Amino acid sequence: MNVTTKVTLLSVLLFWSCVVECNNPHPLDPLTPSELKLIRTIVQKSYPISKTTFNYVGLDEPNKSQILSWISSNPKIKSSSPPPRRAFVVVRFQKHSHQITVDLSTRSIVSKNVYEGNGYPMLTFGEQTVASRLPFSYEPFKESLRNRGLNASQVLCASFSIGWFGEAKTKRNVKVKCYYTNGTANFYARPLEGVAAVVDLDDMKIVGYDDRYVIPVPKAEGTEYRASKLKPPSGPKLKGIAVTQHTGPGFTIEGHSVRGFISELFVSYQDPTEEWYYTTYFDCGEYGFGQSMSSLQPFTDCPPNAAFIDAYYAASDGSPVKITNAFCIFEKYAGDIMWRHTEIAIPNELITEVRSDVSLVVRIVSTVGNYDYVIDWEFKQSGSIKIGAGTYTHTDEIKEDIYGTLLADNSIGIYHDHFFTYYLDLDIDGEVNSFVKSKLETVKVKDENIARKSRWTVVSETAKTETDARINLGLKASELLVVNSNKRTKQGNRIGYRLLPGPVAHPLLLQDDYPQIRGAFTNYDVWVTPYNKSEKWAAGSYVDRSRGDDTIHVWSSRDREIEKKDIVLWYVMGFHHVPSQEDFPVMPTLSGGFELRPTNFFESNPVLKTRSPKPLQWPNCTSQ
């Protein structure tokens, strides 16, 4: 890229922080390892570490007015006058959720209270690990293994959230299900159906157990996916591809800030039986999309020209945990064309102008259960931002009744959904923005002297309140924009950015079904709310066993004014996944995405004078 690009990834995901050296740290920079250690030290003065679980540790963002004031201040004094640096912490102590605000400069707790609402904080890896080990010392489970002739050393267990289905009172319980690894690493493809334990996370003990029936464990044959274990013949061998930037990358990394992130990811399976009905997961609020990030593999997850950033989150005991190579950042050139034009109408002259499309990509992969989510934020020189989401999975279902597709012997891929909810605080050339709905409508041509009978036109409406901005896509042709009504181009157009949606999939569950009550933020594809520091997570702040009373659906029911306000655009992108045999044993990546595209933001084409990268001349070589 021919400009210096500041990449700032603040709250792209739950529970992460990065470490990058920069001269003027941004107030929204995530917590560093040393800060996480300090927070742990401060909290343990009031809460004994041995009896306390750290469920959330994140930056307590300064008020937006403070951030904007800091940004606009004199760069020479920024380093000495940032807003107060604070952390928001949720711990589980004595069976209650405690909310704590820690001031890092004064090294003190400035506020704390007990959360009294519905739902529980996110599951930690530490809790899940301990809960998953409990069955192995539980005699009824040992008996279940003996009845099936299974070797306990080849059994793995995992814990799963169980949702809420109208219970007046709930406990912080999870369900533990187990799998047989003998002969494969793809253990999700070999479940022990009919066997499940219920674990109380606060008491950390088994409080319920079922062994409902005995059916064969699916065979290990055909489930392997590791290249080193696959038997020949292999697939076609590809010729080598080289990616190089001989003069170095065209970007620099100076901090961490983008005000957009995945707020929630709702995954609902469509098997209503006793063993499966509760499988309606909230991958951000229940499991932590950020703490589930995987270390990216150079040359495969990311190209050779990628730069990498590590990430940190707080473990169950509050100590920092490092995720190596959590982010990769690279300039992408895949042979795409940014713009071109050929002119053949001029006599005796052929004009062809082409510009190569080079963009900046920020990538993470988050592994939640048996799904890997590949998330890309692609920043284009034209000013567009393309956001991509790809998924792939291991098959993990076996059923006698068919609620999915038969993929292999004794293996069924259950029908399910994925709904990605994005939080987008755009601030188009300032905070005062509006949301414009432009419908494309057919109009009859009234002039009888014209042979045409119809045309289409654009009818625009500025949303006044939150209800006006609830949109279900795909019903009518439309254009959706966020504009700054106070600023216009020389031609008089309001400057803005347009949402170009991705795949359209609406929820198919009944709206009074308990999973859909909790996932009501998927009832519409687009929501717009006034900016509120406390409204960041579409499913609420305490999602585990939540009741749907703290979601964007509830917040926006207040029908607040959004015209010429500091607003947030929420976009829901969904997939209905009907598995096929090609998804077994590991599914090829299924991708979708959307784009935020400048609309009258520039006076003309911003990349008209952009030059394509110079081709690199390789020395002649001979293949033997």
Catalytic residue from among 269, 287, 313, 371: 371
312 in Cβ contact with 321 (< 8 Å): yes
Q: Report the candidate in 198, 202, 156, 208 with the shortest Cα–Cα distance to residue 179.
A: 156
- Give the C-alpha distances (Å, rounded to integers) separating 408 from 244, 273, 404, 589: 42, 21, 12, 20
Q: Please, is 337 exposed, middle or buried when counting C-beta atoms within 10 Å of its C-beta (0-12, 13-18, 19+)?
A: exposed
Compute the distance between CA of residue 414 and CA of residue 315 in angstroms, rounded to an integer.
33
pLDDT at 396: 53
Compute the distance between CA of residue 525 and CA of residue 500 in angstroms, rounded to an integer.
12
pLDDT at 6: 27
- The SS3 of residue 279 is coil
* Matching residue, tokens 């065979």: 219
Q: 561 is written with which tokens?
A: 């004014």
Q: Which residues of the chain have pLDDT under 70?
A: 1-24, 74-80, 241-244, 246-247, 254-258, 392-401, 616-624
368 in Cβ contact with 283 (< 8 Å): yes
Beta-sheet strands, E only, within 137-204: 155-161, 173-180, 195-200
- Give 112's contacts (C-beta < 8 A, 6+ positions apart): 46, 98, 99, 100, 101
- Give the C-alpha distances (Å, rounded to integers) separating 127 from 231, 338, 410, 491, 603: 38, 49, 32, 59, 55
β-pairing, 195-200 vs 205-211, is: antiparallel
What are 305-329's pLDDT values in tens digits? 999 999 999 999 999 999 999 999 9
* Matching residue, tokens 């920020």: 362
* Matching residue, tokens 């004094």: 77
Q: Report the candidate in 433, 436, 488, 493 with the shortest Cα–Cα distance to residue 461.
A: 436
Q: DSSP for 507-557?
A: --S-TTSHHHHHTGGGSSSEEEEE--TT---TT-S--BT--SSSSHHHHGG
What pTM did the predictor assign?
0.91
Q: DSSP for 75-121?
A: GGGGGG-PPP-EEEEEEEETTEEEEEEEETTTTEEEEEEE--SSSBP
Query: 69-72, long-range: CB within 8 Å, 24+ apart, which pairs?
Result: 70/27
What are 65-102's pLDDT values in tens digits? 898 888 887 665 555 578 889 999 999 999 999 999 99
β-pairing, 307-314 vs 371-380, is: unpaired
The secondary structure of residue 36, as a DSSP letter, is H
pLDDT at 571: 98
Catalytic residue from among 29, 271, 283, 372: 283
- Give 465's contacts (C-beta < 8 A, 6+ positions apart): 559, 560, 561, 562, 563
> Is 225 an active-site residue?
no
Q: 229 is written with which tokens?
A: 């274990």
Q: Is the dihedral of CA 225, 230, 234, 237 positive or negative?
A: positive
Q: Report the candidate in 181, 179, 180, 185 with the shortest Cα–Cα distance to residue 224.
A: 185
pLDDT at 2: 30
What are 338-349's pLDDT values in tens digits? 999 999 999 999
Longest dimension (CA), the chain: 90
Beta-sheet strands, E only, within 335-453: 337-343, 351-356, 359-368, 371-380, 385-393, 404-408, 411-414, 416-424, 434-444
Compute the distance between CA of residue 83 and CA of residue 138 in angstroms, rounded to an integer.
52
Instruction: Specify which residues 363 forms β-bridges with.
Output: 328, 376
pLDDT at 170: 97
How many angstroms from the chain centroid is the CA of residue 471? 21
> Is 524 an active-site residue?
no
Q: Report the candidate in 369, 299, 301, 409 with the shortest Cα–Cα distance to residue 125.
A: 369
The secondary structure of residue 430, as a DSSP letter, is S
pLDDT at 619: 56
Instruction: Respond yes or no on whether the N-terminal peptide bond of residue 585 is cis (omega within 30° of 0).
Output: yes
396 in Cβ contact with 419 (< 8 Å): no
102 in Cβ contact with 42 (< 8 Å): yes
594 in Cβ contact with 502 (< 8 Å): yes
Compute the distance between CA of residue 144 and CA of residue 206 in angstroms, rounded to an integer.
15
Q: Please, is 148 exposed, middle or buried when counting C-beta atoms within 10 Å of its C-beta (0-12, 13-18, 19+)?
A: middle
Compute the distance between CA of residue 401 and CA of residue 275 in angstroms, rounded to an integer.
12
Q: 174 is written with which tokens?
A: 């999870």
Q: State the alpha helices, DSSP H only, in 119-159.
A: 125-133, 139-148
What one-letter code names the amino acid at 288? G
54 in Cβ contact with 314 (< 8 Å): yes
Please give the backbone phi and psi of residue 136, each rounded to the nearest 5 degrees, phi first.
Answer: -70, -15
- The SS3 of residue 362 is strand
- Give the C-alpha distances (Å, rounded to integers) separating 498 from 158, 410, 434, 599: 42, 47, 12, 6
pLDDT at 20: 41
pLDDT at 590: 86
Q: Please, is 112 exposed, middle or buried when counting C-beta atoms within 10 Å of its C-beta (0-12, 13-18, 19+)?
A: middle
